[in-house]
Structure 1
Amino acid sequence: MKDQIKKAMQYNQIVDIMYIAKDDAITKRRIKLIKIAGSTVQAYCFTRHAKRTFKIDNILAVYPVISKASGLNA
């Protein structure tokens, strides 16, 4: 998981993550990675509209956000 996070950060990608919170609730978050610090990542969370810290061990999945091209008609 950490390798996927590092790669997303290296390419400055916005990613969606599946995250398990302290209360065992699983949430989907859209984030922009800011920095990796040991076993945590700091990121801007578009869901909460704030900077958040996530435990890497609690990130269940990471996948890049693919923006759809608009205005292209064939």
Structure 2
Amino acid sequence: MKEQLIKSMQRNQFVNMMYMAQDGKISKRRIKIIKIVGDSFQAYCFSRKAKRTFTISNVLAVIPIIHKEREIIC
């Protein structure tokens, strides 16, 4: 999981993440990873509109968001 997070950070990608909080609640969040330190990482969470710190072992799934340009042919 840590490798996926590092790749997303290096590519400056937004990520959809399934995360389990310390109390066991599961949430889906859209984040942008700022930095990874040890077993945790800091990211901007678009759901909470704030910087948050997450534990890597609590991340259940990570899906990079890829934006593609659409062409209009006339």
Relative to the length of structure 1, the TM-score reads 0.90
**Structure-to-structure mapping, 1:54-69, within 5 angstroms:** 54-67=54-67, 69=69
Any idea what the Cα deviations from partners look like across 1:10-37, whole Å, max 9, x if unmatched? 1000001100001101100100000001
Paired residues of 2:13 and 2:64 also in contact (CA < 8 A): yes
Distance 1:68 1:4 in 2: 20
Q: Specify every segment of 5 or more residues in structure 1 that has no aligned partner in the other structure, as ranges.
A: none
Distance 1:68 1:43 in 2: 23
Distance 1:71 1:46 in 2: 28
Distance 1:42 1:22 in 2: 16
Q: Specify every segment of 5 or more residues in structure 2 that has no aligned partner in the other structure, as ranges.
A: none
- Give the corresponding residue for 1:43: 43
Relative to the length of structure 2, the TM-score reads 0.90
RMSD: 1.6
Q: CA deviation at 1:71?
A: 6.9
